[in-house]
Amino acid sequence: MKSRKLLMIPGPIEFTPEVMRAMGMPTASHVAPNFIEAFGLALERLREVFLCPDGQPFVVAGSGSLAMDMAAANLVEPGDKALVVNTGYFGDRFAAILGRYGTEVTEVRAAAVGDEPELAEVEAALKADQFKVMTITHVDTSTAVGADVQALGALGQQYGALVVVDGVCSVAGEEMRQQEWGIDLALTASQKALGVPPGLALVVAGPRAMDTFRQRKAPVLNYYADWTQWLPIMEAYEERRPSYYGTPPVNLIWALNVSLGQILEEGMDARFRRHRWLSDALKAGIEALGMSQVPASPSKTATTLTAPYYPAGVDAAVLKEISQAGVILAGGLHPEIKARYFRIGHMGAVTPSDILTTVGAIEHGLAQVGYGFEFGAGLAATQEVLG
C-alpha cells in the first residue's frame, strides 16, 4: 500500500510534479543566466496572476508573515493611523505588526466568530478618522470567512486610505482583481494557492503604494524588508541583469516560475471558477453529512478552504481516523472555537478526485468514531455538484 497521504490543509498544499522537479534541480548561482531569466519571468507573470498590470512585484525569502511585515514596514511611519478590518486570527496579526511600527491602529471587528464587519461599520470608521492604510484579510484561514474585498476596497479608496489585502489564503484561488478593485497592495505566501513549497513572501504594490513609499520621511524600520534595498533588485531581475542584496532562494524561485506558468496556462477566470466549483462540491458533502460551517452565511464563505464544526458527539479524534484513511486535514485555529471545528484546504492544483477522496475519508472517519449518518450521503451530494 502507498504510504503517501493526500494533504488537504490550508497550506502547505499538494504541489505539481513539475514544481517539485524544479525544487530538485541542482542549485545555480543567483546570477546564472538561467536563474536571472526565470526570476525575471516570474516577476512579469506575478502581475498577471495578481491582475495588476501596473504593480511592482517583490519576491523575497520568507513566509506570509514577512509579506505582511514588508507591507507595514514600507507603508507606515510612526504616528500614522491604520484601520484593520478584522475577521479573525490574521487580522489580529496585522494589527500587531502595524502597532510594532508605531502605527495607531483602529480595528473594526466582526460581531461574532464566522462573521465579517458590516460595510456600514467600516464606512463609519473611515468617516470618523483619516487613515493612511486600511487592511483586509481576504480569506481568514482561521474561520474560512471570505471578505468582500471589492466593496471594502472601494470604500477605502473613497476615503483616501491605501487598501492593503492579506491574500495569503486567496491569491491565485479566490477571485481577486487587484487593479480593477483598487487594491493598493496585495500580498501572499508561496505555500497556498500559488502552488510552491513554503519559503517565499510575495507582494505586489500598486502605483499609490509605491508613491507613498517614495514620499516617506522616516527610514523603513525593518532592515531586511526595506524596499529601498529590494526595489533595485527586482528591477534588475526584470531587466535580466545580475544583482545582489540577500541571496534569493534559487530553487523556490524556479519552482515559482513553473507554477505561475501553469496558473496562467489554466487562465485566471478558469482558475477562480474551478476553485468555486470544487469548494461548492465539498461544502455540499459536508452539509449532507449534517455538519454546519464556521462562516455565518454561504455568501461569506471562502472558496479556498472549508471550516466545518464537528457534529454532536464528535471531536478532533476524528481527524486521526480520517488520516488513517489517507487524507490529512487541519484542526481548528481560532482560539475561541479551536476545539469545536476543523479545516479542509482545497486550493491550487486540487482536482475533483481530491474532493471525492476527502469526502470519502471524512465519511470513513465519522463512521469510525461512531457518528450516525447515512453512508454515502456526503459523497452523493458532492457528486451532484461535480456533475
Question: From the CB of residue 105, how many other CB atoms can be counted at a distance below 10 Å?
Answer: 20
Q: Which region, judged by CB under 6 A, interacts with ligand PMP, from 161-169, 204-212, 257-265, 357-365?
A: 161-169
Site for ligand PMP in 120-159 (CB under 6 A): 137, 140-141
Closest residue to ligand PMP in the complex (CB) = 64
- Tell me the closest approach of the beta carbon of residue 252 to ligand PMP, in angstroms: 13
Count residues contacting ligand PMP (CB under 6 A)? 12
CB 205 within 8 A of CB 56: yes
Residue holding cell 471550516? Answer: 307
Q: Which is nearer to ligand PMP, 179 or 190 (CB)?
A: 190
- Tell me the closest approach of the beta carbon of residue 67 to ligand PMP, in angstroms: 8
Q: Which region, judged by CB under 6 A, interacts with ligand PMP, from 33-41, 164-172, 284-292, 346-354?
A: 164-172
User: Rounded distance, CA 171 to CA 187, Å?
Assistant: 8
User: Rounded distance, CA 280 to CA 11, Å?
Assistant: 19
CB 119 within 8 A of CB 159: no
- Tell me the closest approach of the beta carbon of residue 217 to ligand PMP, in angstroms: 29
Q: What is the 3-state secondary structure (H, E, C) of 244-292?
A: CCCCCCHHHHHHHHHHHHHHHHHCHHHHHHHHHHHHHHHHHHHHHCCCC
- Tell me the closest approach of the beta carbon of residue 200 to ligand PMP, in angstroms: 9
- Tell me the closest approach of the beta carbon of residue 319 to ligand PMP, in angstroms: 18
- Tell me the closest approach of the beta carbon of residue 47 to ligand PMP, in angstroms: 21
Q: Which of 40, 64, 114, 248 binds ligand PMP (CB under 6 A)?
A: 64
- Tell me the closest approach of the beta carbon of residue 272 to ligand PMP, in angstroms: 18
Q: What are phi and psi of 109, to 5 degrees?
A: -105, 150
Q: Which is nearer to ligand PMP, 144 or 319 (CB)?
A: 144
Question: From the CB of residue 241, how many other CB atoms can be counted at a distance below 10 Å?
Answer: 13
- Tell me the closest approach of the beta carbon of residue 115 to ligand PMP, in angstroms: 17
If one asks whether residue 308 binds ligand PMP (CB under 6 A), the answer comes out as: no
User: Rounded distance, CA 8 to CA 270, Å?
Assistant: 21
If one asks whether residue 189 binds ligand PMP (CB under 6 A), the answer comes out as: yes
| Count of positions (residues) in the chain | 387
Q: Which region, judged by CB under 6 A, interacts with ligand PMP, from 48-56, 58-66, 278-286, 339-347?
A: 58-66
Angle between helices 227-238 and 33-49 (to 10 degrees): 110
Q: Select from 282, 364, 337 the least CA-distant residue to 140.
A: 337
Q: Which is nearer to ligand PMP, 138 or 274 (CB)?
A: 138
User: Rounded distance, CA 70 to CA 88, Å?
Assistant: 21
- Tell me the closest approach of the beta carbon of residue 94 to ligand PMP, in angstroms: 8
Which residues are 165's β-sheet partners? 136, 186
If one asks whether residue 80 binds ligand PMP (CB under 6 A), the answer comes out as: no
CB 381 within 8 A of CB 288: yes
If one asks whether residue 303 binds ligand PMP (CB under 6 A), the answer comes out as: no
Q: Which of 5, 23, 47, 65 binds ligand PMP (CB under 6 A)?
A: 65
If one asks whether residue 90 binds ligand PMP (CB under 6 A), the answer comes out as: yes
- Interacting residue ranges for ligand PMP, rule: CB under 6 A: 11, 63-65, 90, 137, 140-141, 166, 168-169, 189
